Amino acid sequence: MSIRFREPLNQLVKSPLLHTRGMGFLPPERIKIYDDTLREGEQMAGAAFSPAQKLKLARMLSRLGVDVLQVAFPAVGESEKRALELCLAARKRGQIRWDVEIQAMSRARRDDIAAVAEAAERAGVPTRAVSLLILSTGSDLHMKYKLGKTLLKTQGLPTREWLGCPLSFYREANIRAAVAAIRCARAMGFAYIEFAAEDASRAELGYLLDWASACIDAGGTRLSFCDTVGCLTPEAVDFYIPPLVRLARKRGVDLHVHCHNDLGLASANCVRALSHGATHAGVTLCGIGDRVGIAALEQVVMQLRLLYGITLPRLQTRLLGPARHLLEEVLGFSMPAHQPVVGDGAFAHESGIHTAGLSIHPSTYEFIPKKMVGARRRLVFGKHSGSQAVAEVLSRHKRDLGRTGAEDTRQLSETLRDWAKREREDRARGISEAELLKMAAKRSIQQDF
């Protein structure tokens, strides 16, 4: 049981908020959580969601409070069309919040856009009821060497000219292709059209601004900046995002930031972009996605809340833990124990020094309030355990132990501690509280060791 402090906690420890005030975040109600678990998340190696599973996750994410759900890439096939159809129909029935934006992705191709429109028609909703993301690119590398042959075809040129054409040709062709796709989507009745610059974190800023301006002129409503290979640094965020924010505000569109996590910076970079006035944080549950994933929903939300004092009004953070469990159920495998915020290890303690501190007050070794994210604290016993942690567990279960005839004594605590240390060195995992209590319930335990 923790003690009651005689001084306010903010007098005993310095708050991170002392260093993060006065930044350029929008008001909390204008910051949007753009969840990509169902589309980007499925690109994680070994992940695959059926349409019914996507709907199940979408309903949980709606309860959690996300603002945008990117559901599918319908041009891939019938399963993706069906997933979009199910989610649109569920929102129509009220099973997904009416204010959740449901989005599908397409390439800058007419047939891709038509596949999204077909799914909307099958769900019995107009195309204006579904948001469309059109994937383009920002870097010369992608324009010439990934999309080069496609761009040549769109301009009516033979592919044999691929390598010989200068970068200037591909830059112009890329803009024309994006503009044509946006106009095509407008003609099909789409009202919300996002235009995404893949590999934008390795693009020339001047070209990005020209490309974005052309897309807005064509009818695009949201700009998406993608750090496709996860090479963005906080300093690069400071370089790219402010001018893009200025353009977006001047032209009346939003700015979505999608950061990959190859170097472990995705969530921090995403929050940094929001601090410059970006409107939409691109995230997935537990950060799942292509390669090592993107910014994690739970990390971005809790960083905003605890480090910057920004509480997003729609987010039900107590559902973060249950959402992670549902994701694991659907995926068929567990998230790493050391996953920040929601991992099994986030509130698990073994060290005797730590558990002794926790017995005085949780704030000694836990910065995130466990109830805030729907988590429970666990004491794991092993090589580093102290007798005080064992005594605390025995004290909580004194009545149950009494029924077995075991007596809660200091000697029993020390005996169990020593047993756990020895056992842990012979195992690949810690000793659980349940195992510890089972050993304590054996009347002869003190004679056994």
* pTM of this structure: 0.89
Which residue matches tokens 């698990």? 348
Q: Percent of the chain, pLDDT > 70?
A: 86
Please state the rounded mean pLDDT for residues 287-305.
Answer: 98
Top pLDDT among 309 and 431 is at 309
Over residues 149-186, the pLDDT tens digits come to 999 999 899 999 999 999 999 999 999 999 999 999 99
Residue 353 has pLDDT above 70, yes or no: yes
Sort strands 222-227 and 254-259 into parallel, antiparallel or unpaired: parallel
Please state the rounded mean pLDDT for residues 318-345.
Answer: 94
Q: Percent of the chain, pLDDT > 90?
A: 76
Dist CA 123 CA 307 (whole Å): 42
Over residues 411-433, the pLDDT tens digits come to 776 776 677 667 666 665 666 76
Please state the rounded mean pLDDT for residues 192-201.
Answer: 98
Res 430: pLDDT: 67
Q: What pLDDT band is residue 438 in, cutting at 50, 70 and 90?
A: confident
Res 418: pLDDT: 73
Residue 410 has pLDDT above 90, yes or no: no
Packed helices 51-64 and 78-93: angle between N→C axes, nearest 10 degrees: 40
Res 355: pLDDT: 74
Res 404: pLDDT: 66
Structure tokens at 423: 């056992």
The structural domains of the chain, ordered by start, are 19-315 (3.20.20.70), 348-448 (no CATH)
Structure tokens at 14: 């310095």
Over residues 211-238, the pLDDT tens digits come to 999 999 999 999 999 999 999 999 999 9
Q: What pLDDT band is residue 28 in, cutting at 50, 70 and 90?
A: very high
